[in-house]
Amino acid sequence: MKEYSCEGLIVKWNPEKCIHAKECVNGLPQVFDHDSRPWINMQGASPEEIMKVIDRCPSGALTYQEKAPESAEKNASDGRYASIRVVKNGPLMVEGDCRLFSSDGKEMAKKRAFALCRCGASRKKPFCDGSHTKIGFHDPE
């Protein structure tokens, strides 16, 4: 987990969950630039703009927390049921309050969103690493 901050906002990136959907790069290239180091430039846009783009992250690899003590993490679910969505030719997207446990009982993921591999080619199983695009995974339905 890597953290980046600016006044009023902390952005967290978990590379293990990232499926490289490029919602961040396409949404705010002046903030998210995979060719730069660090790859997140927190001065490239306002905290509000950054939060809007992070809300589009399909895997939950990018999250944020406002620094104001009275605010809660914006990425938390609204308390309703978790949902699982099949992405055409892609992963299973789990969204909402949900916890994922390994076979030995270790908690692997919780809350907001994560992508689970369906193609079998991920090197980060059970999480998707984007390998479905490399192997040409095709779901007939």
Percent of the chain residues past pLDDT 90, beyond the cut: 55
Q: Sign of the C-alpha dihedral, residues 15, 18, 20, 21? A: negative
How long is the chain? 141
Domains and CATH numbers, the chain: 2-66 (3.30.70.20), 83-135 (3.40.5)
**Element holding 109 (H helix, E strand):** strand 107-110
Q: Which residues pair with 2 in a beta bridge?
A: 13
pLDDT for 23: 93
CA dihedral 76, 82, 84, 85 (to 10 degrees): -60
| pTM reported for the whole predicted model | 0.55
The maximal CA–CA distance of the chain, rounded, in angstroms, is 48
Closest by alpha carbon to 12, among 72, 65, 82? 65
pLDDT (mean) for 1-7: 89
Q: CB neighbours of 106 closer than 8 A, spacing ≥ 6?
A: none
pLDDT band at 72 (very low <50, low <70, confident <90, very high): very low
Residue 9, H or E segment:
strand 9-13
Report the pLDDT value the prediction gives residue 111, as an integer from 0 to 100: 65
Contact in structure between 100 and 109 (CB atoms under 8 Å):
yes
Average pLDDT over residues 25-43: 95
pLDDT in tens, 75-108: 344 455 678 889 899 999 888 778 888 888 888 8
Q: Confidence class of residue 53 from pLDDT cuts 50, 70 and 90?
A: very high
Q: Is the confidence at residue 24, as pLDDT, over 60? A: yes
